[in-house]
Structure 1
Amino acid sequence: MLPENTVLPENTVGGAHRVRTALRICPLCEATCGLTLTIEGRTVTGSRGDREDVFSKGFICPKGASFGELDADPDRLRAPLVRRGGRDGVLAEASWQEAFELIAARLRPLIEEHGPQSVGVVLGNPNVHTMAGALYPAALLGALRTRNLFTASTLDQMPKHVSSGLLFGDPFAIPVPDLDRTDHLLLLGANPLESNGSLCTAPDFPGKLRALRKRGGTLTVVDPRRTRTARLADRHVAIRPGTDALLLAALAQVLFEEKLTGLGRLADHAEGMSEVHDAIRDFTPEAVGPACDMSAGEIRAIARELAAAPTAAVYGRIGSCTVEFGTLASWLVDVLNILTGNLDRPGGALFPLSATDRAPRTPAPGKGFALGRWTSRVSGHPEAKGELPLAALAEEIETPGEGQIRAVIALAANPVLSAPDGDRLDRALAGVDFMVSVDPYLNETSRHADVVLPPPPPAQSAHFDFAFNGFAVRNQVRYTPAAVPLEDGRLDESEILARLVLAVSGMHGAAPSAVDEMVIDRTLGKAVTDPGSPVHGRDPKELAARLTGRTGPERRLDLMLRLGPYGAGFSTEEPSGASGASGASGASDASDAEDPSGTEGLCLDRLLERPHGIDLGPLRPRVPSLLKTRSGRIELLPAPIAADLPRLRGALAARPASLVLVGRRHLRSNNSWLHNIPALSGGSNRCTLQIHPDDAARLGLAEGRPVRISADGGVLEAPVEITDAVRTGVVSLPHGWGHSRPGTRTTVASARPGVNVNQLLDGSRLDPLSGTAVLNGFPVELSPTAG
């Protein structure tokens, strides 16, 4: 394997360009695979898996293989757009100076007149796939002082954050299955052979599942569709959608009833065991079976297999989160891991420890986690993790009164497609006083902006996974500088967001580095006064002067690595450029076997010496040091959970709908991001309504013909795909489509627009604890279309 940025001999085919390779962590899904890019001049001409990457070891999927095509997409914006002629005017290219001057001139007066709550901030999924998206939104929110924060979390994973916050005191303390060592995996509402995993960062998730089977382990998949993952399983349970929480409660009830519980080492660190037992007594397999469309015997068998396995892990994702009882299902996943003694245990479900996490502290009671510290203005939805439901954004814009949202800042977000009732939000965004969108495309949402700020292509950006390393199935750390120099006329995404922070805070014109230095000063100021910090009592200015890095984001990364669990603070000399040369290929020497981060401690320079990353070892038990509950223990039955259980109990007697809809994942897609890439737009990546042959015959539907789909929020038409991969009583339509609105510039996506499944929803169906939209398991009606 050639070292990063190696220059090869001239291309013998073209003869005009020298060819080189560069490493880049893939930003297109949560697997974070290492890539080796082939670059001719400034163009990425090839992408393959980096076989020496310490984490992904050469694995690549079609998304990563299409990195070059994404990077060079001709529809990507190359310069800012500014709306001329008022809100009804047109977007035209402008200079960066004009764009930021307009933001400063419009937003500050609006905030001063109407208050900080007049601005709503929307964060999309791509933010966690970039360094800038991880580093700057907090500063932006601090400058705005608004509580009107809406993110994609309330469309996918907020139930898991809420349940983890209530159980462990920290919404980011999310255990992941120890895929490499477990003997038994119970997987609900997830299809990692298509999605590559979610809240479980695992390159080659498919290979890990096959390895589990090969070593004699057991895979049970609960999903109403016979997905690629389900076809790999020992047992596939085609459950009725939306009933995952009922099944999980019944499994826990069996464990209690048959005395199969055993907390192991967690017995000294958990409370509420008997209360959980009492709370779920009614959820017997006999009571739950009809609702789930399962036999009581099958439920008992799954529970007994889980308890009998030498090690086991329960893992639930999108399909079990974006349903009516998403938070309860997420809570019960961890309750089962705890009851079987598999939480915080090798081979079970463990808590990762990322290199930029806080260093472990002495176990002690914490501040705990609270829900509903404030509520949304119109419908009174409680906040969760500082966020309001994205489904409530439209009404917050439309409804007059004090605190009405009059301006929107959207960072890498396309809620017109991703949130319920996109038509209503489409109209609402058209009526705001001012809107800023940071987005590489003019899409269904950014077309409403007064200013569009386009980040550069990913090859021109450095990459570090702040978020996904915290959910990784193995502790590791990797950083890749930009593979291609920043093109003339472009700004780095970090500079774009830093300038945006300055523009909204009244500091327009200051150097963008001021934002990074402010964050560094605040971080060090807190660290030196913290008795548990490795730099307690030190001079923050002296420490800041020792940070390395060519840019503000690199200096901030260096600081986080030094203060993190594998860093040496500032107590040792930084490694020289030659000291780690022997490890450049990713191999570890004897000292690294004892100290995976290197004998000199982890810092940016050390990481740059290891371009294929540094392996920090398998996941290890972390309880009780990570607990931040008020009791300092795992609180098995938090009050909000107990208060919501009667709602679940009521579902036992509910009459199920005759037909419900679920979404589905595509391997060559990620929400609406990648529909404009030709190499990813064909094959199975189609917007069709899948339906079982029996249901199709009953309703008179024919293969390939359009069908009318109606639900709470509206009506759609989509082509029929008849398949026995979906169970009876269930239809499936993928998420992220609907590229038919005028005023966008996504040529490929617009040519094959599909329909927006979320338009079937009016936003009223929410999981009450987390505010997450119910995107799966909602009732629909079908009818053939005329002709």
Structure 2
Amino acid sequence: MVKAAKAAKVTTAKVTTVKATRANEQTHFRTCNLCEAMCGIEIKHDGNKVLSIKGDKNDPFSQGYICPKATALQDLHEDPDRLRQPVERTANGWKEISWTDALDKVAAGIQSVQKQHGQNALGIYLGNPNVHNLGGMLTIRHLLHSIKTRSRFSATSIDQLPHHIVSMHLFGHMLRIPVPDVNRTQYMLIIGGNPLASNGSIMSAPNMRQKLKDIKARDGKVVVIDPRRTETADIASEHHFIRPATDVLLLLAMLNEIHLQGYAKEHAKNNRAAALAPEIDRIASFAKDYTAESVAGITGITAVEIKRLVKEFCEAESSVCYGRMGISVQEFGLLSQYLAMVINIVTGRLDEVGGLMFPNPAVDVVNNSGPGYLGKRLSRVSNLPDFNGEYPVVAMADEMLVEGEGQLKGFISVAGNPVLSTPNGEKLDKALSQLDFMVSLDYFVTETSRHANIILPPVSPLERDHYDLTFNGFAVHNVAKYSKALFSKKKNERHDWQIYLELAKRLNKKVPLATKAERLLIKVLGPKFLLDQGLRRGPYEGMTLKKLKKNLHGIDLGPLKSMLPQALKHKDKKIHLNVDFYQADLDRVKEMMQQYDDSQILLIGRRHVRSNNSWLHNSHRLVKGKSRCTLMLHPETAQQHSIEHGQDVKVSSRVGSVVIAAEVTDELMPGVVSIPHGWGHGRKGVKQKIAQAHAGVSVNDLTDDTLIDQLSGNAAVNGVPVQLEAIHAEAGELEVNKIDKLEATELEVSG
């Protein structure tokens, strides 16, 4: 506890923009909603302006820790580029219009597309910020039901889709995802994850730096496997480079070694999870063809090291295998996540202290939502499976560009920027420009929303109530906290839930009486009454919204506890390993091994703690300093391509090319290059001054929409083959570049 408090003091960030007297200074406690970590923050304000933001030391979950992103809550709220009123695109540029006109025109545009081209000719995309939004999460279904289209997409299939499918198969629900009990484990194996930059990710965990240090302090071990020596790898006990998209081979070899070394049999004696899995005996032969020796050459990890890792993992007092984005967004993402889960099961680490455990949130979303499904329908052009009613994002552009019945002619983008966040962004950019009608729900004119006919802006995060419906379900410690809005919205502004209900009312008037009654209650009371119902029906007796309101810092609900078999949502209360489904994908693995070309340069992404996809780059505080949008590459790779540090490099893939400055570093293994996700703000028509001044390039102008995980439809943006070409400037150009860089530096300092 002392160490945590000390770390909190170091990481506390303060922002002061206005001097206030003690007489009018007020304090507001809330949860930062800009990432998954759910950090508690203390905001000083004078009723109109934010004076400072720092960590809330009394928050039971984060204990005073915050990352630099928290300051962006003020920046988002005060951003002069943020839209406050609906705008319509005209021949003379964007024009503000009234809410009534905007909503009427949007409804008319949607109805026109569907009447002329069919119900499914309208598509909708839901971006990442939706799950950070209480009102949006509770009411988006009203909009979805009213438009009645099957052409739905979301950020899920460029991110965590494999987690959902594995959990649906094994545990009976797509949201029943166990998380590492990081606070009590003795051995944490992290494959393709960088929780120091992401603050967890499908593992809501503030101050991961301290949590990992605590593992080492109690004589435990943290092992990171990643093509890059990340911020997490830097503080780990050890780090191993691995060739991108070969994690499936490592996991297969580890599973094989667990059986060969007798650990599966040894752990079977007290393995409660394995006892609930009828197919567990079939796992013994699942990976029998993948020895440590057979995968060493391709993965880059020696057979000796693989065997040692297995031995240490299995003999630790407690251990957990955690795989995240690096293994999800590749061509074997689903099989890799399945193998990581199976390794935890066969070694007796599932539902055990220090292993992989199920959170028990105050609002039981699992018991109040459908379990999910895979492959009821296939996308029109690429024949990719839908998941829970959504098609993979890699199918989206083709659905707009390829003519025929069902071609998308209209589109709704809700809190998303898929031009920068999904594969082959240039292709999607072109597709959006050809639509008959488009509407965006967004704060800004972005690379995506610039194509909209009308943009409907919701209020800022500080003007809405907050409760983490989603991320409490992934929290490494059970807590509950409600934050009322800091500032009241102005009369000419709208909450996102108000926008959804107004559109639903215009688009679908013939709804059941119960739906009408619910819409009326939401309109009068706001969506928080739905939250109160969820709390009352939850697992904690006496939990109500009124109780949360009295506990401004939140309520500590205790550490993770064993929840099997009650946590299982299958009717038979068993773990369904679905061996046949996953074993069928081993044919693709064998083909990959036979055709593997280790001479290719492979592209991976990366994340920074000051960035969150593309939606925080208009905050000066978060983008200042040296450019983070660089091409990282190993000195050996640079030498092979005659590339010097700082030199511009043309990076090309099957779908496009970008020019980006080289950052030569031994952080990357040879033959691998890295470009961060979410940049590329230089497109014409974007109305974000700071983001455009720090434009960078979009890695998704290189990622390939034909590279997918065929088992799930998830995008494979890690391990993209690329070519490198050093750009040699002429002498005159070099001088101009020097002047440009000098001016940019001076602007940075003065800014």
**How many Å apart are 1:493 and its aligned residue?**
2.2
Q: Which runs of 5+ in 2 are unaligned?
A: 1-16, 730-751
Kept in 2, the 8 Å contact 1:117–1:405? The answer is yes
Matching of residue 649 in structure 1 with residue 590 in structure 2: yes
For normalisation by structure 1, the TM-score amounts to 0.87
1:152 to 155, 160, 177: 155
Partner residue, 2:738: none
Superposition pairs for residues 345-360 of structure 1, below 5 Å?
A: 345-357=352-364
C-alpha distance after superposition, 1:135-189 (max 9, x if no partner): 1222222222222111111111111111111222211111100011111100011
C-alpha distance after superposition, 1:73-97 (max 9, x if no partner): 1111111112346xxx733111111
2:534 to 560, 572, 585: 560
Kept in 1, the 8 Å contact 2:418–2:425? The answer is yes
Superposition pairs for residues 203-242 of structure 1, below 5 Å?
A: 203-242=206-245
Kept in 2, the 8 Å contact 1:37–1:45? The answer is yes
Kindly provide the amino acid, as one letter, of the partner of residue 518 in structure 2. M
Partner residue, 1:706: 648
Partner residue, 1:249: 252
C-alpha distance after superposition, 1:399-441 (max 9, x if no partner): 2222221111111010011111111111111111111111001
Matching of residue 473 in structure 1 with residue 480 in structure 2: no
What is the alpha-carbon distance in structure 1 between the residues aligned to residue 630 and residue 570 of structure 2? 45
2:564 to 605, 620, 623: 623
Matching of residue 51 in structure 1 with residue 51 in structure 2: no
Partner residue, 1:670: 612
Kept in 2, the 8 Å contact 1:396–1:405? The answer is yes
Cα gap change, 1:15 to 1:163, in 2 (>3 Å): closer
**How many Å apart are 1:279 and its aligned residue?**
2.1
Kept in 1, the 8 Å contact 2:358–2:561? The answer is yes
**How many Å apart are 1:195 and its aligned residue?**
1.4
**How many Å apart are 1:232 and its aligned residue?**
1.0
Q: 1:766 aligns to what SS in structure 2?
A: coil
C-alpha RMSD over aligned residues: 2.3
**How many Å apart are 1:759 and its aligned residue?**
0.8
Q: Identify which range, 714-723 or 14-23, moves more after superposition.
A: 14-23
1:378 to 378, 381, 391: 381
Partner residue, 1:35: 41
2:628 to 686, 707, 714: 686
C-alpha distance after superposition, 1:551-578 (max 9, x if no partner): 33111101111111124xxxxxxxxxxx
**How many Å apart are 1:360 and its aligned residue?**
7.5
Cα gap change, 1:161 to 1:381, in 2 (>3 Å): same
Kept in 1, the 8 Å contact 2:191–2:323? The answer is yes
**How many Å apart are 1:114 and its aligned residue?**
3.0
Kept in 1, the 8 Å contact 2:86–2:98? The answer is yes
Partner residue, 1:83: 89
Partner residue, 1:407: 410
Q: 1:331 aligns to what SS in structure 2?
A: helix
Q: Identify which range, 395-404 or 245-254, moves more after superposition.
A: 395-404
Matching of residue 260 in structure 1 with residue 263 in structure 2: yes
Kindly provide the amino acid, as one letter, of the partner of residue 739 in structure 1. H
**How many Å apart are 1:194 and its aligned residue?**
1.3
Matching of residue 747 in structure 1 with residue 697 in structure 2: no
Superposition pairs for residues 550-629 of structure 1, below 5 Å?
A: 551-567=525-541, 601-629=542-570
Kindly provide the amino acid, as one letter, of the partner of residue 307 in structure 1. C
What is the alpha-carbon distance in structure 2 between the residues aligned to residue 158 and residue 277 of structure 1? 26
What is the alpha-carbon distance in structure 1 between the residues aligned to residue 312 and residue 363 of structure 2? 37
Superposition pairs for residues 330-479 of structure 1, below 5 Å?
A: 330-357=337-364, 370-479=373-482
Kindly tell me the number of residue pairs found equivalent between the two proteins. Answer: 708
**How many Å apart are 1:375 and its aligned residue?**
0.7
**How many Å apart are 1:12 and its aligned residue?**
11
Q: 1:314 aligns to what SS in structure 2?
A: strand
Matching of residue 173 in structure 1 with residue 176 in structure 2: yes
C-alpha distance after superposition, 1:720-744 (max 9, x if no partner): 0011111111111001011011111
What is the alpha-carbon distance in structure 2 between the residues aligned to residue 106 and residue 661 of structure 1? 40
Matching of residue 108 in structure 1 with residue 111 in structure 2: yes
Kept in 2, the 8 Å contact 1:30–1:468? The answer is yes
Cα gap change, 1:737 to 1:515, in 2 (>3 Å): farther
Partner residue, 2:69: 63
**How many Å apart are 1:514 and its aligned residue?**
9.0
Kept in 2, the 8 Å contact 1:166–1:368? The answer is no
Q: Identify which range, 613-622 or 65-74, moves more after superposition.
A: 65-74
What is the alpha-carbon distance in structure 2 between the residues aligned to residue 631 and residue 294 of structure 1? 40
Cα gap change, 1:449 to 1:369, in 2 (>3 Å): closer
C-alpha distance after superposition, 1:210-265 (max 9, x if no partner): 11111111101001111111011112111111111111111110011111012411
C-alpha distance after superposition, 1:481-526 (max 9, x if no partner): 0011112311122212222222332479x9xx99684379xxxxxx
Kindly provide the amino acid, as one letter, of the partner of residue 82 in structure 1. E
What is the alpha-carbon distance in structure 2 between the residues aligned to residue 30 and residue 410 of structure 1? 22
Superposition pairs for residues 732-771 of structure 1, below 5 Å?
A: 732-771=674-713
Kept in 1, the 8 Å contact 2:175–2:366? The answer is no
What is the alpha-carbon distance in structure 2 between the residues aligned to residue 673 and residue 359 of structure 1? 29
What is the alpha-carbon distance in structure 1 between the residues aligned to residue 346 and residue 623 of structure 2? 44
Kept in 1, the 8 Å contact 2:19–2:51? The answer is no
Partner residue, 1:584: none
Matching of residue 314 in structure 1 with residue 256 in structure 2: no
Matching of residue 783 in structure 1 with residue 725 in structure 2: yes
**How many Å apart are 1:266 and its aligned residue?**
1.8
Partner residue, 2:145: 142
Q: 1:82 aligns to what SS in structure 2?
A: strand
What is the alpha-carbon distance in structure 2 between the residues aligned to residue 558 and residue 142 of structure 1? 23
Q: Identify which range, 399-408 or 435-444, moves more after superposition.
A: 399-408
Partner residue, 1:576: none
Q: Which runs of 5+ in 1 are unaligned?
A: 1-10, 521-543, 568-600
Q: Percent identity, aligned pairs only?
A: 41
Kindly provide the amino acid, as one letter, of the partner of residue 563 in structure 2. R
1:293 to 256, 278, 300: 300
Q: 2:25 aligns to what SS in structure 1?
A: strand
**How many Å apart are 1:630 and its aligned residue?**
6.1
Kindly provide the amino acid, as one letter, of the partner of residue 357 in structure 1. D
Cα gap change, 1:141 to 1:31, in 2 (>3 Å): same
Q: 1:18 aligns to what SS in structure 2?
A: coil
**How many Å apart are 1:606 and its aligned residue?**
1.1
Q: 2:65 aligns to what SS in structure 1?
A: coil
What is the alpha-carbon distance in structure 1 between the residues aligned to residue 465 and residue 295 of structure 2? 50
Partner residue, 1:571: none
What is the alpha-carbon distance in structure 2 between the residues aligned to residue 554 and residue 165 of structure 1? 29
What is the alpha-carbon distance in structure 2 between the residues aligned to residue 201 and residue 16 of structure 1? 36
Cα gap change, 1:144 to 1:286, in 2 (>3 Å): same
For normalisation by structure 2, the TM-score amounts to 0.91
**How many Å apart are 1:616 and its aligned residue?**
1.1
Q: Identify which range, 212-221 or 106-115, moves more after superposition.
A: 106-115
Cα gap change, 1:644 to 1:359, in 2 (>3 Å): closer
Kindly provide the amino acid, as one letter, of the partner of residue 71 in structure 1. H
Cα gap change, 1:766 to 1:373, in 2 (>3 Å): same
Cα gap change, 1:514 to 1:156, in 2 (>3 Å): same
Partner residue, 2:127: 124
Partner residue, 2:289: 282
**How many Å apart are 1:370 and its aligned residue?**
4.0
What is the alpha-carbon distance in structure 1 between the residues aligned to residue 181 and residue 673 of structure 2? 33
C-alpha distance after superposition, 1:744-780 (max 9, x if no partner): 1100010111111111133000011221111111111
Report which of the two has the higher share of helix: 2
Cα gap change, 1:550 to 1:177, in 2 (>3 Å): farther
Kindly provide the amino acid, as one letter, of the partner of residue 586 in structure 2. L
